[in-house]
């Protein structure tokens, strides 16, 4: 069996005539955190949307191997079932639903007979928010009652509630405070220790350097280099990003 959990080989994705991805290769081992770095428009989010089947198999070229086997997913529910969970750059919450309902969207806990098990969902949502160090959040309130940073934490809780083998974090910290970012980095380290792999995308290279084992840089839809963080520093990442 492959030592890699994930291999993406020669991924090409076009929008009309525009080549957003032009033959990208990346690999991730179990428990490894790969920092995916590149300037605005380099293709980071597009690559992760290919992986999570936001862009289904057949709408891009190349090959994805998951646990050494070809992955040809048609929907996000298929990739989630495989253990690929993405926290998107854009918030995907439903403003009028409660924090707990948002966390369990599409994965609702039910009672025998099929009715919603709200007490169990509220209990679990509270535990997740405690883990994220926001114990004061009322998970029964509409998520729109909370500001951008809290909503980003709800997105993270929603992802943590799924059984990820690979967690993709696409700019997870843009609306977070310093102490919230520290909690997030701590959680990522915990997940790594449990063998969960991560792809971490952030323009904040200090975060990337703090948590990632490996840095893959892409530029203009092409792979530039993949280097162990131990052999890297922030100025070298920037040099690779800008070319």
Q: What residue ranges bind Mg ion (CB under 5 A)? A: 44-45, 89
6, 8, 11, 20: residue in contact with ligand ATP (rule CB under 6 A):
20
Which of residues 42 and 197 has its CB atom nearest to Mg ion in the complex? Answer: 42
Least distance CB 35 / Mg ion (angstroms): 14
Find the helix packing angle between 178-193 and 148-160, rounded to 10°.
10
Which residues are 241's β-sheet partners? none
In sequence order, the 6+-apart residues with CB closer than 8 A to the CB of 234 are: 205, 206, 209
DSSP for 44-93 reads HHHHHHHHTTSS-TTSSEEEEEETTEE---SSHHHHHHHTEEEE-SS---
24, 35, 43, 53: residue in contact with ligand ATP (rule CB under 6 A):
43
The whole-angstrom separation of Cα 120 and Cα 190 is 25
The answer to whether residue 40 forms part of the interface with ligand ATP (CB under 6 A) is: yes
- Token readout for 185 is 């980095």
Which of residues 124 and 219 has its CB atom nearest to ligand ATP in the complex? Answer: 219
The answer to whether residue 44 forms part of the interface with ligand ATP (CB under 6 A) is: yes
The answer to whether residue 26 forms part of the interface with ligand ATP (CB under 6 A) is: no
Least distance CB 14 / ligand ATP (angstroms): 9
Least distance CB 110 / ligand ATP (angstroms): 35
Least distance CB 90 / ligand ATP (angstroms): 10
Least distance CB 169 / ligand ATP (angstroms): 13
Which candidate, 6, 50, 47, places its Cα nearest to that of 28?
6
Given the rule CB under 6 A, which residues bind ligand ATP? 15, 18, 20, 38, 40-46, 89
């Amino acid at each position: 069996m492959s030592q890699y959990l994930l291999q993406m080989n020669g991924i090409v994705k076009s929008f009309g005539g525009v080549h957003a991805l032009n033959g990208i290769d990346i690999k991730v081992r179990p428990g490894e955190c790969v920092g995916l770095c590149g300037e605005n428009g380099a293709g980071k989010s597009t690559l992760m949307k290919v992986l999570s089947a936001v862009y289904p198999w057949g709408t891009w070229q190349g090959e994805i191997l998951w646990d050494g086997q070809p992955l040809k997913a048609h929907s996000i529910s298929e990739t989630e079932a495989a253990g690929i969970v993405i926290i998107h750059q854009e918030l995907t919450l439903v403003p009028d639903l409660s924090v707990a309902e948002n966390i369990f969207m599409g994965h609702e806990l039910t009672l025998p007979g099929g009715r919603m098990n709200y007490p169990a969902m509220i209990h679990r949502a509270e535990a997740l928010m405690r883990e994220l160090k926001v114990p004061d959040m009322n998970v029964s309130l509409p998520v729109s009652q909370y500001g951008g940073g809290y909503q980003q934490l709800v997105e993270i809780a929603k992802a943590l509630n799924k059984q990820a083998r690979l967690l993709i974090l696409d700019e997870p910290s843009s609306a977070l405070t310093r102490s919230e970012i520290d909690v997030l980095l701590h959680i990522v380290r915990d997940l790594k220790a449990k063998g969960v792999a991560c792809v971490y995308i952030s323009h904040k290279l200090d975060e990337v350097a703090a948590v990632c084992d490996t840095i893959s840089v892409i530029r203009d839809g092409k792979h530039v280099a993949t280097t162990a963080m131990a052999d890297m520093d922030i100025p070298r990442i920037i040099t690779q990003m800008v070319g």
